[in-house]
Amino acid sequence: MVAKLVGGVLSILGGAVHREWWKLFEDREVSTMGKYLVMIYDDEAKWAAADPSVMERNHLNHQAFVAANAGAVVGGAQLGESPTATSIRSDGNGGYVVTDGTFAETKEVMGGYYLIEAADLDEALAIAKQVPSPMGGVEVRPLVNGG
């Protein structure tokens, strides 16, 4: 990311050496970079029915995605399947109700996520479109105040 931004700054300055370019970098980051959570939603039934080779290919596709977007990907992980989920709701009286399963019952469930950094929503969407999600799709949400 640093190299990319510095390159951009230098090209704006016409390639001239600017001794305080780190200042520009700082300004730019504060004013324009934001973090986005890319949530991968999959139909688990489809995955259960899929051939192991499909999963293997998907795994490689994720590695390729991370490699191609190394400058933007801040974090990410695959999640355990929905039967491993435990939900906790406040009971409104200072206590909790703990239940087995995901928070909302839906056909597509969140199976993984990436935390990415982007200059704006368009850039975030362009990156999110590359996230492999053959059995569903992704949802992109900004972190409040750029994270």
Partner 1 sequence: MADTVAEAVAAAHSTEWAAVLAATARVAADLDLAEDCVQDAYAKALTHWREQGVPRRPGAWLTTVATRRALELRRRDGVVRRKLPLLIPDTPASVGVFPDDRLRLVFTCCHPALAPEARIALTLRLVCGLTSGEIAKAFLVKETAMQARITRAKHKISQSGISYRIPRPEELPERIQAVLDVVHLVYTAGHTAADGPELTRPELSRRGIDLARMMRLLLPDSAEAAGLLALLLLTEARRDARVSGGQMVLMEDQDRSLWDRALIAEGLALVPEAVRAAGRFGVLAAIAAVHAEAERWEDTDWPEILGLYDVLLARWPSPVVALNRVVALSYVAGPDAALAELAELADGPALATYPYLASTRAELLWRTGRVEEARAAYDEALAFTGNPVEVAFLQARRLRTSS
Judged by the rule CB under 8 A, the positions of this chain that interact with partner 1 are 12, 31-32, 34, 36, 118-122, 124-126, 141-142, 144-146
Residue 123 CB, shortest distance to partner 1, in Å, is: 9
CB of 72 or CB of 109, closer to partner 1: 72
Between CA 103 and CA 82 the distance in angstroms is 10
For residue 90, the SS3 value is strand
Tell which phi-psi region holds residue 124, choosing left (phi > 0), alpha (psi between -120 and 50) or beta: alpha
Shortest CB 141 distance to partner 1, Å: 8
Residue 106: C-alpha distances to residues 10, 43, 44, 46, 88 (Å): 48, 9, 10, 14, 17
CA distances (Å), 8 to each of 3, 109, 144, in order? Answer: 9, 39, 26
Nearer to partner 1 (CB atom), residue 132 or residue 146 = 146
CA dist., res. 24 & res. 29, Å (int): 9
User: Closest CB to partner 1 among 31 and 90?
Assistant: 31
Give the residue with the Cβ less far from partner 1, 42 or 117: 117
